[in-house]
Protein backbone atom coordinates (compact mmCIF):
# COMPACT_ATOMS: atom_id res chain seq x y z
CA UNK A 1 0.00 0.00 0.00
CA UNK A 2 1.39 3.45 -0.87
CA UNK A 3 2.35 5.79 1.96
CA UNK A 4 2.44 9.55 2.30
CA UNK A 5 5.58 11.50 3.19
CA UNK A 6 4.85 11.00 6.91
CA UNK A 7 4.74 7.21 6.47
CA UNK A 8 0.95 6.89 6.75
CA UNK A 9 -0.72 4.28 4.49
CA UNK A 10 -2.92 5.59 1.68
CA UNK A 11 -5.82 3.64 0.21
CA UNK A 12 -5.34 4.30 -3.49
CA UNK A 13 -4.84 2.12 -6.53
CA UNK A 14 -2.17 4.44 -7.87
CA UNK A 15 1.35 5.23 -6.69
CA UNK A 16 1.13 8.29 -8.92
CA UNK A 17 -2.03 9.43 -7.14
CA UNK A 18 -0.27 8.96 -3.80
CA UNK A 19 2.59 11.22 -4.91
CA UNK A 20 0.13 13.77 -6.26
CA UNK A 21 -1.69 13.67 -2.92
CA UNK A 22 1.56 14.47 -1.14
CA UNK A 23 2.08 17.41 -3.48
CA UNK A 24 -1.45 18.66 -2.80
CA UNK A 25 -0.79 18.31 0.92
CA UNK A 26 2.33 20.44 0.62
CA UNK A 27 0.30 23.01 -1.30
CA UNK A 28 -2.30 23.18 1.50
CA UNK A 29 0.21 23.13 4.37
CA UNK A 30 2.62 25.60 2.80
CA UNK A 31 0.16 28.15 1.42
CA UNK A 32 1.87 28.05 -1.96
CA UNK A 33 0.25 27.32 -5.29
CA UNK A 34 -3.38 26.58 -6.13
CA UNK A 35 -4.70 23.85 -3.80
CA UNK A 36 -7.87 23.17 -5.84
CA UNK A 37 -5.82 22.49 -8.95
CA UNK A 38 -3.55 20.24 -6.90
CA UNK A 39 -6.39 18.18 -5.42
CA UNK A 40 -8.09 17.88 -8.80
CA UNK A 41 -4.89 16.38 -10.22
CA UNK A 42 -5.06 13.69 -7.54
CA UNK A 43 -8.71 12.89 -8.21
CA UNK A 44 -8.13 12.67 -11.94
CA UNK A 45 -5.68 9.85 -11.20
CA UNK A 46 -7.95 8.11 -8.65
CA UNK A 47 -11.54 9.40 -8.34
CA UNK A 48 -12.20 6.98 -5.44
CA UNK A 49 -9.29 8.22 -3.28
CA UNK A 50 -11.24 9.07 -0.12
CA UNK A 51 -9.05 11.55 1.72
CA UNK A 52 -8.13 13.26 -1.53
CA UNK A 53 -11.77 14.35 -1.51
CA UNK A 54 -11.26 15.57 2.07
CA UNK A 55 -8.26 17.61 0.94
CA UNK A 56 -10.32 18.91 -1.97
CA UNK A 57 -13.01 19.96 0.51
CA UNK A 58 -10.49 22.04 2.44
CA UNK A 59 -9.16 23.58 -0.76
CA UNK A 60 -12.69 24.55 -1.81
CA UNK A 61 -13.47 25.99 1.62
CA UNK A 62 -10.32 28.12 1.49
CA UNK A 63 -11.39 29.20 -1.99
CA UNK A 64 -14.66 30.56 -0.61
CA UNK A 65 -17.03 27.81 -1.81
CA UNK A 66 -18.51 26.17 1.31
CA UNK A 67 -21.30 24.33 -0.53
CA UNK A 68 -19.01 22.40 -2.88
CA UNK A 69 -16.59 21.92 0.05
CA UNK A 70 -19.34 20.14 1.97
CA UNK A 71 -20.14 17.93 -1.02
CA UNK A 72 -16.47 16.99 -1.39
CA UNK A 73 -16.13 16.24 2.33
CA UNK A 74 -19.20 14.00 2.27
CA UNK A 75 -17.83 12.12 -0.75
CA UNK A 76 -14.66 11.56 1.24
CA UNK A 77 -16.62 10.01 4.10
CA UNK A 78 -18.64 7.77 1.79
CA UNK A 79 -15.55 6.51 -0.03
CA UNK A 80 -13.56 6.06 3.19
CA UNK A 81 -15.69 3.05 4.14
CA UNK A 82 -13.29 1.05 1.94
CA UNK A 83 -10.20 2.71 3.42
CA UNK A 84 -8.23 2.35 6.65
CA UNK A 85 -9.64 3.41 10.01
CA UNK A 86 -7.18 6.28 10.06
CA UNK A 87 -8.52 7.57 6.75
CA UNK A 88 -12.11 7.10 7.92
CA UNK A 89 -11.43 9.27 10.96
CA UNK A 90 -9.56 11.78 8.82
CA UNK A 91 -12.51 12.10 6.43
CA UNK A 92 -15.00 12.50 9.29
CA UNK A 93 -12.99 15.40 10.71
CA UNK A 94 -13.32 17.40 7.50
CA UNK A 95 -17.09 17.07 7.31
CA UNK A 96 -17.26 18.82 10.67
CA UNK A 97 -14.64 21.40 9.67
CA UNK A 98 -16.32 22.50 6.45
CA UNK A 99 -19.80 22.57 8.00
CA UNK A 100 -18.67 24.80 10.87
CA UNK A 101 -19.03 22.24 13.67
CA UNK A 102 -16.03 23.61 15.50
CA UNK A 103 -16.14 21.89 18.85
CA UNK A 104 -16.97 18.41 17.43
CA UNK A 105 -14.23 18.84 14.83
CA UNK A 106 -11.68 19.82 17.46
CA UNK A 107 -12.67 16.91 19.69
CA UNK A 108 -12.23 14.50 16.78
CA UNK A 109 -8.85 16.00 15.91
CA UNK A 110 -7.58 15.64 19.47
CA UNK A 111 -8.70 12.02 19.63
CA UNK A 112 -7.27 11.32 16.18
CA UNK A 113 -3.81 12.78 16.74
CA UNK A 114 -3.47 10.90 20.01
CA UNK A 115 -3.34 7.79 17.83
CA UNK A 116 -2.00 9.27 14.58
CA UNK A 117 0.14 12.26 15.59
CA UNK A 118 1.74 12.58 12.14
CA UNK A 119 -1.54 13.11 10.30
CA UNK A 120 -0.60 16.73 9.63
CA UNK A 121 -3.46 17.46 7.21
CA UNK A 122 -5.96 16.37 9.85
CA UNK A 123 -4.26 18.47 12.52
CA UNK A 124 -3.84 21.57 10.38
CA UNK A 125 -7.39 23.00 10.84
CA UNK A 126 -6.66 23.28 14.56
CA UNK A 127 -3.06 24.46 14.31
CA UNK A 128 -3.23 28.20 13.65
CA UNK A 129 -4.62 31.54 14.78
CA UNK A 130 -7.43 31.28 12.19
CA UNK A 131 -8.13 27.66 13.17
CA UNK A 132 -10.58 25.86 15.41
CA UNK A 133 -8.86 27.01 18.60
CA UNK A 134 -7.80 30.40 17.25
CA UNK A 135 -11.41 31.18 16.32
CA UNK A 136 -12.97 29.52 19.35
CA UNK A 137 -13.60 32.80 21.15
CA UNK A 138 -12.12 31.34 24.32
CA UNK A 139 -10.13 33.53 26.68
CA UNK A 140 -7.30 31.02 27.10
CA UNK A 141 -7.05 30.10 23.42
CA UNK A 142 -3.37 31.02 23.09
CA UNK A 143 -2.24 28.65 25.84
CA UNK A 144 -4.74 26.06 24.58
CA UNK A 145 -3.15 26.26 21.13
CA UNK A 146 0.31 25.74 22.55
CA UNK A 147 -0.90 22.85 24.72
CA UNK A 148 -2.26 21.08 21.64
CA UNK A 149 1.02 21.34 19.71
CA UNK A 150 3.72 21.06 22.36
CA UNK A 151 3.32 17.31 23.05
CA UNK A 152 3.77 16.60 19.32
CA UNK A 153 7.21 18.18 19.00
CA UNK A 154 9.11 14.90 19.39
CA UNK A 155 6.96 13.25 16.72
CA UNK A 156 7.62 15.92 14.08
CA UNK A 157 11.20 16.81 14.94
CA UNK A 158 12.51 19.45 12.55
CA UNK A 159 9.74 19.11 9.97
CA UNK A 160 9.11 22.55 8.48
CA UNK A 161 5.32 22.53 8.81
CA UNK A 162 5.36 21.72 12.49
CA UNK A 163 8.20 24.13 13.22
CA UNK A 164 6.22 27.03 11.77
CA UNK A 165 2.86 26.26 13.44
CA UNK A 166 4.53 25.48 16.75
CA UNK A 167 6.68 28.58 16.37
CA UNK A 168 3.62 30.75 15.78
CA UNK A 169 1.96 29.32 18.89
CA UNK A 170 5.09 30.17 20.89
CA UNK A 171 5.08 33.73 19.52
CA UNK A 172 1.51 34.21 20.70
CA UNK A 173 2.59 33.09 24.17
CA UNK A 174 5.50 35.57 24.46
CA UNK A 175 8.21 33.04 23.64
CA UNK A 176 9.89 34.78 20.70
CA UNK A 177 13.31 33.64 21.92
CA UNK A 178 12.30 30.02 21.28
CA UNK A 179 10.21 30.71 18.20
CA UNK A 180 12.60 32.78 16.06
CA UNK A 181 15.29 30.11 15.49
CA UNK A 182 12.61 27.46 14.99
CA UNK A 183 10.78 29.43 12.30
CA UNK A 184 14.05 30.44 10.65
CA UNK A 185 14.95 26.76 10.34
CA UNK A 186 11.56 26.03 8.78
CA UNK A 187 12.04 28.84 6.29
CA UNK A 188 15.41 27.43 5.27
CA UNK A 189 13.65 24.18 4.31
CA UNK A 190 10.80 25.74 2.30
CA UNK A 191 11.81 29.32 1.43
CA UNK A 192 8.93 29.61 -1.05
CA UNK A 193 6.18 28.81 1.49
CA UNK A 194 3.61 31.56 2.03
CA UNK A 195 2.60 30.25 5.44
CA UNK A 196 6.17 29.92 6.71
CA UNK A 197 7.07 33.34 5.30
CA UNK A 198 4.10 34.77 7.18
CA UNK A 199 5.20 33.17 10.44
CA UNK A 200 8.73 34.48 9.86
CA UNK A 201 7.45 38.04 9.47
CA UNK A 202 5.52 37.66 12.73
CA UNK A 203 8.60 36.23 14.43
CA UNK A 204 10.72 39.22 13.43
CA UNK A 205 7.96 41.65 14.37
CA UNK A 206 7.44 40.14 17.82
CA UNK A 207 11.22 40.12 18.29
CA UNK A 208 11.22 43.89 17.56
CA UNK A 209 13.21 43.44 14.33
CA UNK A 210 10.85 45.64 12.32
CA UNK A 211 13.31 46.97 9.77
CA UNK A 212 14.76 43.53 9.15
CA UNK A 213 11.23 42.20 8.60
CA UNK A 214 10.40 45.01 6.15
CA UNK A 215 13.58 44.56 4.16
CA UNK A 216 13.19 40.79 4.05
CA UNK A 217 9.56 40.98 2.94
CA UNK A 218 10.32 43.59 0.27
CA UNK A 219 12.77 41.11 -1.22
CA UNK A 220 10.59 38.01 -0.82
CA UNK A 221 7.03 39.14 -1.61
CA UNK A 222 7.47 39.88 -5.36
CA UNK A 223 8.35 36.22 -5.93
CA UNK A 224 5.15 34.95 -4.28
CA UNK A 225 2.46 34.27 -6.87
CA UNK A 226 -1.14 35.60 -6.66
CA UNK A 227 -2.54 32.04 -6.54
CA UNK A 228 -1.06 31.67 -3.05
CA UNK A 229 -3.60 32.04 -0.28
CA UNK A 230 -1.35 34.42 1.71
CA UNK A 231 -0.79 36.87 -1.16
CA UNK A 232 -2.97 39.72 0.10
CA UNK A 233 -2.04 39.22 3.74
CA UNK A 234 1.71 39.23 3.19
CA UNK A 235 1.54 42.39 1.11
CA UNK A 236 -0.67 43.85 3.85
CA UNK A 237 2.12 43.19 6.34
CA UNK A 238 4.55 45.05 4.09
CA UNK A 239 2.11 47.95 3.78
CA UNK A 240 1.87 48.08 7.58
CA UNK A 241 5.64 48.44 7.86
CA UNK A 242 5.38 51.47 5.55
CA UNK A 243 2.54 52.75 7.72
CA UNK A 244 4.78 52.49 10.79
CA UNK A 245 7.20 54.82 8.97
CA UNK A 246 4.30 57.08 7.82
CA UNK A 247 5.21 56.36 4.21
CA UNK A 248 1.59 56.65 3.11
CA UNK A 249 2.30 56.71 -0.63
CA UNK A 250 4.02 53.32 -0.48
CA UNK A 251 1.30 51.98 1.79
CA UNK A 252 -1.55 52.99 -0.55
CA UNK A 253 0.31 51.73 -3.59
CA UNK A 254 0.62 48.27 -2.08
CA UNK A 255 -2.98 48.29 -0.89
CA UNK A 256 -4.37 49.35 -4.26
CA UNK A 257 -2.12 47.13 -6.38
CA UNK A 258 -1.87 43.98 -4.25
CA UNK A 259 -4.75 43.75 -1.78
CA UNK A 260 -7.91 43.99 -3.88
CA UNK A 261 -10.49 41.27 -4.48
CA UNK A 262 -9.71 40.64 -8.14
CA UNK A 263 -5.94 40.43 -7.77
CA UNK A 264 -5.29 37.13 -5.99
CA UNK A 265 -6.68 33.92 -4.56
CA UNK A 266 -6.77 35.46 -1.09
CA UNK A 267 -9.96 34.56 0.82
CA UNK A 268 -12.59 37.20 1.65
CA UNK A 269 -11.76 37.11 5.36
CA UNK A 270 -8.27 38.46 4.65
CA UNK A 271 -9.42 41.00 2.08
CA UNK A 272 -12.04 42.37 4.47
CA UNK A 273 -10.33 42.32 7.85
CA UNK A 274 -6.90 43.36 6.57
CA UNK A 275 -8.38 46.20 4.56
CA UNK A 276 -10.54 47.58 7.36
CA UNK A 277 -7.65 47.36 9.80
CA UNK A 278 -5.31 49.17 7.41
CA UNK A 279 -7.70 52.04 6.70
CA UNK A 280 -8.50 52.47 10.39
CA UNK A 281 -4.85 52.44 11.40
CA UNK A 282 -3.86 54.74 8.54
CA UNK A 283 -6.25 57.46 9.60
CA UNK A 284 -5.05 57.23 13.20
CA UNK A 285 -1.49 57.66 11.88
CA UNK A 286 -2.43 60.82 9.98
CA UNK A 287 -3.40 59.60 6.52
CA UNK A 288 -6.43 61.11 4.83
CA UNK A 289 -9.71 59.24 5.38
CA UNK A 290 -10.59 57.03 2.39
CA UNK A 291 -14.36 56.55 2.30
CA UNK A 292 -14.30 55.13 -1.22
CA UNK A 293 -11.89 52.35 -0.28
CA UNK A 294 -13.87 51.55 2.88
CA UNK A 295 -17.12 51.34 0.91
CA UNK A 296 -15.54 48.66 -1.29
CA UNK A 297 -14.55 46.75 1.83
CA UNK A 298 -18.05 47.14 3.25
CA UNK A 299 -19.39 45.45 0.14
CA UNK A 300 -16.98 42.52 0.59
CA UNK A 301 -18.04 42.17 4.20
CA UNK A 302 -21.76 42.27 3.51
CA UNK A 303 -21.50 39.83 0.60
CA UNK A 304 -19.45 37.24 2.47
CA UNK A 305 -20.27 37.73 6.15
CA UNK A 306 -23.96 38.64 6.46
CA UNK A 307 -24.10 37.63 10.14
CA UNK A 308 -21.75 38.35 13.06
CA UNK A 309 -18.89 35.87 13.04
CA UNK A 310 -15.63 35.57 14.91
CA UNK A 311 -13.03 38.22 13.98
CA UNK A 312 -15.03 39.62 11.07
CA UNK A 313 -17.62 40.99 13.51
CA UNK A 314 -15.19 43.39 15.15
CA UNK A 315 -13.97 44.56 11.76
CA UNK A 316 -17.56 45.07 10.59
CA UNK A 317 -18.02 47.36 13.59
CA UNK A 318 -14.87 49.31 12.75
CA UNK A 319 -15.93 49.59 9.10
CA UNK A 320 -19.35 51.05 9.95
CA UNK A 321 -17.89 53.38 12.57
CA UNK A 322 -15.30 54.65 10.08
CA UNK A 323 -18.10 55.37 7.58
CA UNK A 324 -20.20 57.10 10.24
CA UNK A 325 -23.22 54.88 9.52
CA UNK A 326 -24.76 54.93 12.99
CA UNK A 327 -28.01 53.30 11.84
CA UNK A 328 -26.20 50.31 10.33
CA UNK A 329 -24.00 50.07 13.42
CA UNK A 330 -27.08 50.02 15.67
CA UNK A 331 -28.57 47.26 13.54
CA UNK A 332 -25.30 45.34 13.72
CA UNK A 333 -25.23 45.63 17.52
CA UNK A 334 -28.78 44.25 17.61
CA UNK A 335 -27.61 41.29 15.51
CA UNK A 336 -24.74 40.76 17.91
CA UNK A 337 -27.00 40.82 20.98
CA UNK A 338 -29.35 38.32 19.35
CA UNK A 339 -26.42 36.06 18.51
CA UNK A 340 -25.11 36.46 22.07
CA UNK A 341 -28.45 35.36 23.53
CA UNK A 342 -28.38 32.28 21.31
CA UNK A 343 -24.79 31.44 22.24
CA UNK A 344 -23.55 32.19 18.72
CA UNK A 345 -21.46 35.30 19.30
CA UNK A 346 -18.24 33.38 19.77
CA UNK A 347 -16.17 36.16 21.29
CA UNK A 348 -19.01 37.32 23.53
CA UNK A 349 -19.88 40.74 24.89
CA UNK A 350 -16.47 42.20 23.99
CA UNK A 351 -17.58 42.48 20.35
CA UNK A 352 -20.32 44.93 21.34
CA UNK A 353 -17.97 46.81 23.66
CA UNK A 354 -15.49 47.28 20.83
CA UNK A 355 -18.25 48.47 18.52
CA UNK A 356 -19.17 51.11 21.11
CA UNK A 357 -15.55 52.13 21.52
CA UNK A 358 -14.86 52.37 17.81
CA UNK A 359 -17.97 54.46 17.27
CA UNK A 360 -17.00 56.83 20.06
CA UNK A 361 -13.54 57.21 18.57
CA UNK A 362 -14.88 57.82 15.06
CA UNK A 363 -17.24 60.47 16.48
CA UNK A 364 -14.36 62.28 18.15
CA UNK A 365 -15.40 61.37 21.70
CA UNK A 366 -11.91 60.26 22.60
CA UNK A 367 -12.39 60.15 26.36
CA UNK A 368 -15.34 57.80 26.04
CA UNK A 369 -13.54 55.70 23.43
CA UNK A 370 -10.47 55.28 25.62
CA UNK A 371 -12.58 54.34 28.62
CA UNK A 372 -14.65 51.73 26.75
CA UNK A 373 -11.74 50.16 24.88
CA UNK A 374 -9.52 50.01 27.96
CA UNK A 375 -12.28 48.21 29.85
CA UNK A 376 -12.63 45.75 26.97
CA UNK A 377 -8.89 45.11 26.60
CA UNK A 378 -8.64 42.06 28.93
CA UNK A 379 -11.16 40.22 26.72
CA UNK A 380 -9.77 41.26 23.32
CA UNK A 381 -7.89 37.97 22.90
CA UNK A 382 -11.30 36.37 22.36
CA UNK A 383 -11.95 38.17 19.06
CA UNK A 384 -9.47 35.99 17.13
CA UNK A 385 -6.49 36.81 14.98
CA UNK A 386 -2.86 37.23 15.93
CA UNK A 387 -1.41 39.61 18.48
CA UNK A 388 -0.20 41.81 15.64
CA UNK A 389 -3.76 42.05 14.32
CA UNK A 390 -5.30 42.68 17.72
CA UNK A 391 -2.95 45.61 18.27
CA UNK A 392 -5.60 47.56 16.36
CA UNK A 393 -7.37 47.95 19.71
CA UNK A 394 -4.24 49.03 21.61
CA UNK A 395 -3.40 51.54 18.90
CA UNK A 396 -6.90 52.99 19.04
CA UNK A 397 -6.61 53.42 22.81
CA UNK A 398 -3.27 55.20 22.34
CA UNK A 399 -4.75 57.48 19.67
CA UNK A 400 -7.79 58.18 21.88
CA UNK A 401 -5.54 59.12 24.80
CA UNK A 402 -3.70 61.57 22.54
CA UNK A 403 -7.06 63.11 21.66
First to last CA, the chain: 67
CA-angle at 32, arms to 28 and 34, nearest 5°: 75
Q: What one-character DSSP code corresponds to residue 93?
A: H
Residue 141 reports pLDDT greater than 90:
yes
Percent of the chain topping pLDDT 90: 98
In sequence order, the 6+-apart residues with CB closer than 8 A to the CB of 204 are 180, 210, 212, 213, 216
Q: How confident is the model at residue 126 (pLDDT cuts 50, 70, 90)?
A: very high
Q: pLDDT tens digits for 313-340? A: 999 999 999 999 999 999 999 999 999 9
User: Contact 89/105 with Cβ under 8 angstroms?
Assistant: no
Question: Binning pLDDT at 50, 70 and 90, where does residue 63 land?
Answer: confident
Q: How confident is the model at residue 1 (pLDDT cuts 50, 70, 90)?
A: confident
Exposure letters 74-88 (e unless 16+ CB within 10 A, then b) = bbbbebbeebbebbb
Q: Over the stretch 145-171, which tens digit does the pLDDT of each residue have?
A: 999 999 999 999 999 999 999 999 999
Band (pLDDT 50/70/90 cuts) for residue 82 is very high
Nearest partner of 378 among 402, 362, 397, judged by Cα: 397
Task: Give the pTM.
Answer: 0.96
Report angle CA 327, 330, 331 to the nearest 5 degrees.
90
Fold for the domain defined by 134-224: 1.25.40
Domain parsing of the chain, residue ranges: 15-126, 134-224, 227-402
Instruction: Report whether pLDDT(117) > 90.
Output: yes
Q: What angle do CA 148, 169, 112 make, to 5 degrees?
A: 25
Nearest to 190, CA basis, from 157, 152, 233, 159: 159
Query: Do 134-224 and 15-126 have the same topology in CATH?
Result: yes
pLDDT digits (tens, 9 = 90+) for 237-293: 999 999 999 999 999 999 999 999 988 989 999 999 999 999 999 999 999 999 999
- Using a pLDDT cut of 70, give the percent of the chain over it: 100
Q: Would you say 193 and 31 are in contact if contact means Cβ atoms under 8 Å apart?
A: yes
CA nearest neighbour of 199 among 221, 209, 184, 214: 184
pLDDT of 99: 95
Which residues lie across from 3 on neighbouring strands?
A: 9
Three-state DSSP state, 261: coil
Mean pLDDT of 344-371: 97
- Mean pLDDT (the chain) is 97
CATH number of 15-126: 1.25.40.10
Amino acid sequence: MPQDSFGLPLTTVSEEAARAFDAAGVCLLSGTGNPEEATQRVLALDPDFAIAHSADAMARLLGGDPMSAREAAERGVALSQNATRREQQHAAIFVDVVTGKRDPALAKIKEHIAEFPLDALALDPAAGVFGLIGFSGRQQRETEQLALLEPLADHYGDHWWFQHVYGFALLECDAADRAVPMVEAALAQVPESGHVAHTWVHALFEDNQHERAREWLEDWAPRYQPDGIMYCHLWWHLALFHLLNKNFDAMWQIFDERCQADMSASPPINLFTDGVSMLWRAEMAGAERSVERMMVLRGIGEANFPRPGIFVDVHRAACLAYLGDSAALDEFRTQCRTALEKGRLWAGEVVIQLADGFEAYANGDFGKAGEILTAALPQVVRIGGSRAQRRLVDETITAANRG
